[in-house]
Structure 1
Amino acid sequence: MVSRETVIHVRAVLLGFLALALLTPFDAGPETGPASVVTFLLFYGLVLGGSHLYLALRGEDGMVPVAARWRYLAVLAVLLAGGTAVFYGGERSVGTIELRTIGLVVIVVTSIAYLVTESVAGYRASRSE
């Protein structure tokens, strides 16, 4: 039997592809200007985090605790923003440091912090049982 979470994940992915299909006729591809940033963030945000956002707002644990869903969404937001900064503004600089370098450092530090945080949370959850 298909779980409720699977149905929500499939709906979020379909919603992401629907948004992409609706924005494609307006020539909002990844290299065409400011509208492409919105398309990029909307599509990947819906596909990767739409179901987690829905379930976190409803407070439903399921297979993943609500706190872990919120942590995932925070990391996803940082990674999408950092990736967007690297992709669209990488050649610009802040002082003497390129935005690409700053974005990549933010992405790496966020990824490591997320890995450590989830590892500690998983360890604590296994110890309390």
Structure 2
Amino acid sequence: MPESPHILLVDDEVLAIMALEQGLVEEGFRVTTAFNGKMALERWRGGRFDAVVTDLRMPVMAGDELIRNLRGEAPDLPVVVVSGYATPDLAERLKASFQAPIQVMSKPVRVEEIMGTLRTMLPAHS
């Protein structure tokens, strides 16, 4: 049986990260959390992840800088950006800056939406 996908979940909002983590775990994903981009990079270097779900605006290191660092090491890493500041213009800028697979979602977001997006991005794990 294949191992469950391992998701790196990054958000500075504790309640948001807890709710998403619980929902993803209940659906069979393995989840490691981080509360800013710097912490996420530390977690990344200590593990193996199939995808990243990250906020954009965070202290210490913002989501776009985190994505740039991670994609430097893993160019095809699936990334889901979940932000309260997600606009169609921002989504287009992020998609122009970072090659696919990247998806931008606006907060508040339902766990089901993120799971569906992750399953699309991780077809080998469906």
Task: Give the structure, 1 or 2, with the largest relative contact order (CA under 8 Å, sep 6 or more).
Answer: 2
Query: Which one has a bigger Cα radius of gyration?
Result: 1
Q: The TM-score by the shorter chain falls in which range?
A: under 0.3
What's the TM-score, normalizing by structure 2? Answer: 0.28
Structure ranking higher in strand proportion: 2
Structure ranking higher in helix proportion: 1
